[in-house]
Chain A
Amino acid sequence: MTEFLQQLLNGLSLGAVYALIALGYTMVYGVLRFINFAHSDVFMVGAFAGYYLNRWMPSDSMAGGLAILAGSMAFCALLGVVIERLAYRPLRRRSRLNVLITAIGVSLLLEYTGQFLFGAAPKPFPQLFPVRTFQFAGGLIVSTNQLAVLVLTPLLLAALHFIVLKTRFGTAMRAISFHPVAATLVGINLDRVISFTFALGSALAAAGGILYSLNYQSIDPLMGVLPGLKAFVAAVVGGIGNIPGAALGGLLLGIIETFVNGSRWSTATDAIAFALLILILLFRPAGLLGKLEVEKV
């Protein structure tokens, strides 16, 4: 039983990180209908931003950790906006495949630039928050890092929920995802909303990057590739373009993966996400919470 709870806890904290990344994929997909492949590398940049911020102003207090988190989120928000501005906006009227390839290019550029600047070897990730572990009756172990994930993720999700549902930018985002042309006709500034979406998604990815690194304690320029792909899968599983769906998909995937990893099929862990993806797309192509678009003849 404790074993089960422990695994569930580990799964939840991994899933929470997937959810944070998945939200960025899903929001960009919602407004622009394309897979932002570079998102997984923004996640990586977020982790490195945290690493270097900590070197400048080392922190082991709660507030210091949060400041570093905020700093990294702000940096990545900017990065996301710049990427969209330089690489994606000029291609907005081109085919989606062109944009997809450009996104792959941006992803590679970030990875290789990362390898050039930070070196390819993994770096130990510092403890941003005071470290403590709590042991519960029965042997359940919870670390402050896990707590950070489990507390911060719901807070970030709530903030996102508020922004999307209650603010003007959120309303504009939703309008664009329903019908971009109609949205511009009623006076929504497409460019600004898209920039905002990228900023929001990238900030969440940065948060994901830091929370992920806190628990894995090692970062490298290619660290985003696999979590990024899996988070994308989580977004599709939940129904791409659907914000609660991304969160749900992320949690689900994190939990399933953790349990498989703990079983005797642990070597197949990396394939789980893709197997899940294929099953979902074959039997419920719109995802768990998504709606299917049908081509009109």
Chain B
Amino acid sequence: MNAPASPLLELRGCTIRFGGLTAVSGLDLAVGERELLGLIGPNGAGKTTVFNLITGVYRPAAGNIRFAGSSLAGLRPCQIASLGIARTFQNIRLFPSMTVFDNVRVAFHLHLLSGIAHALWRGRTFRAEEESIESRVMEMLEIFRLGRHRGAAAHSLPYGDQRRLEIVRALATRPRLLLLDEPAAGMNPSEKSELMRLIRFVQERYRIAVLLVEHDMHVVRGVCQRLVVLDYGVKLAEGVPEDVLRHPKVVAAYLGEQNTPRRAPAAPAES
């Protein structure tokens, strides 16, 4: 299985350096429509940097990124989000002082018809829109079993719920591509299998593409249709999970060069 012919997201020759360190070097990456692509690699391989490049937090020193046919060069993160790329963060970034409900509600912002003037006048259109947003937020919270926490402050949720809420918030922007940054980190096995179900469900129900950065190989295998392996900012391998995880370079990258064993990395880099 190879890179899609007409991808939704396409990185070409992307490079970024921090001081003397080349974090990502000449990376080509493509995500197809409704594809579930995994981006894996040892710690410090540059996976999160790739996310930051795609979402405009960093600007590539070289190369370009195209999404749905248009270039993302020079766009601000909020503009990129408005084109249909949503993400979660490795170290959860909810809006801690806001309620669970408001965390999701504010993400409807992008598709809002009423602005300041409507909020000030509070006429019928405004109230109708607020009501429809409210019901859509509640619907999403119920689907992801967060409904009963709706009035709680986001920072007071248990860890797993916070991760889930971050995914709901990202989905509320109605993305075409969802970037998940280590969603399984810190989860126990039962939470992990629930997360796998969740990711597959999201991809099917909202008909979106998902780019997943994850260390847990069980989750990666269970979810991803295709894998890209990154090490020291360079792409090592690409293909279906079974092949990629047996690829000698990949095994070497995970377990070290000297004693390359035959077996695939079962669950490397348990951090």
Interface residues of A in 253-297 (CB under 8 A from B): 297
Number of interface residues of A (CB under 8 A): 1
Complex Cα distance, B89 from A70, in Å, reads 54
Residues in B with CB closer than 8 Å to A297 are: 48, 52, 57, 89
Taking the nearest CB of chain B, how far is it from the CB of A4, in angstroms? 43
Interface residues of A in 182-204 (CB under 8 A from B): none
Complex Cα distance, B52 from A297, in Å, reads 8
Taking the nearest CB of chain A, how far is it from the CB of B9, in angstroms? 19
Taking the nearest CB of chain B, how far is it from the CB of A97, in angstroms? 14
Residues in A with CB closer than 8 Å to B89 are: 297
Of all chain B residues, which has the CB nearest A294?
B18
Complex Cα distance, B42 from A178, in Å, reads 28
Q: Is the interface of A mostly helix, strand, loop or mixed?
A: loop
Residues in A with CB closer than 8 Å to B48 are: 297
Complex Cα distance, B8 from A260, in Å, reads 60
Complex Cα distance, B259 from A155, in Å, reads 62
Interface residues of A in 49-108 (CB under 8 A from B): none
Complex Cα distance, B16 from A297, in Å, reads 15
Of all chain A residues, which has the CB nearest B58?
A297
Q: On chain B, which size bracket covers the interface?
A: under 10
Chain B window 234-264, contacts with chain A (Cβ cutoff 8 Å), 1 for yes, 0 for no: 0000000000000000000000000000000
Taking the nearest CB of chain A, how far is it from the CB of B89, in angstroms? 7
Taking the nearest CB of chain B, how far is it from the CB of A295, in angstroms? 10
Taking the nearest CB of chain B, how far is it from the CB of A291, in angstroms? 12
Taking the nearest CB of chain B, how far is it from the CB of A89, in angstroms? 26
Taking the nearest CB of chain B, how far is it from the CB of A292, in angstroms? 12
Complex Cα distance, B56 from A297, in Å, reads 12
Complex Cα distance, B77 from A297, in Å, reads 13
Taking the nearest CB of chain B, how far is it from the CB of A259, in angstroms? 39
Residues in A with CB closer than 8 Å to B52 are: 297
Complex Cα distance, B58 from A297, in Å, reads 10
Of all chain B residues, which has the CB nearest A295?
B57
Complex Cα distance, B48 from A297, in Å, reads 8
Taking the nearest CB of chain A, how far is it from the CB of B21, in angstroms? 14
Chain B window 21-61, contacts with chain A (Cβ cutoff 8 Å), 1 for yes, 0 for no: 00000000000000000000000000010001000010000
Chain B window 73-96, contacts with chain A (Cβ cutoff 8 Å), 1 for yes, 0 for no: 000000000000000010000000
Residues in A with CB closer than 8 Å to B57 are: 297
Complex Cα distance, B89 from A248, in Å, reads 41
Chain A window 231-244, contacts with chain B (Cβ cutoff 8 Å), 1 for yes, 0 for no: 00000000000000
Complex Cα distance, B57 from A297, in Å, reads 8
Taking the nearest CB of chain B, how far is it from the CB of A93, in angstroms? 16
Complex Cα distance, B54 from A297, in Å, reads 13
Of all chain A residues, which has the CB nearest B181?
A297
Taking the nearest CB of chain A, how far is it from the CB of B161, in angstroms? 22
Taking the nearest CB of chain B, how far is it from the CB of A98, in angstroms? 15
Complex Cα distance, B90 from A297, in Å, reads 8
Taking the nearest CB of chain B, how far is it from the CB of A287, in angstroms? 20
Taking the nearest CB of chain B, how far is it from the CB of A79, in angstroms? 37
Taking the nearest CB of chain B, how far is it from the CB of A293, in angstroms? 14
Taking the nearest CB of chain B, how far is it from the CB of A167, in angstroms? 31
Chain B window 87-117, contacts with chain A (Cβ cutoff 8 Å), 1 for yes, 0 for no: 0010000000000000000000000000000
Complex Cα distance, B87 from A297, in Å, reads 12
Taking the nearest CB of chain A, how far is it from the CB of B189, in angstroms? 29
Complex Cα distance, B179 from A297, in Å, reads 14
Interface residues of B in 155-207 (CB under 8 A from A): none
Taking the nearest CB of chain B, how far is it from the CB of A104, in angstroms? 23
Taking Cβ atoms with an 8 Å cutoff, the residues of B that contact A are 48, 52, 57, 89
Taking Cβ atoms with an 8 Å cutoff, the residues of A that contact B are 297
Can you show 4 pairs from A to B with CB atoms below 8 A apart? A297-B48, A297-B52, A297-B57, A297-B89
4 cross-chain pairs, A with B, having the tightest CB-CB distances, nearest first: A297-B57, A297-B52, A297-B89, A297-B48
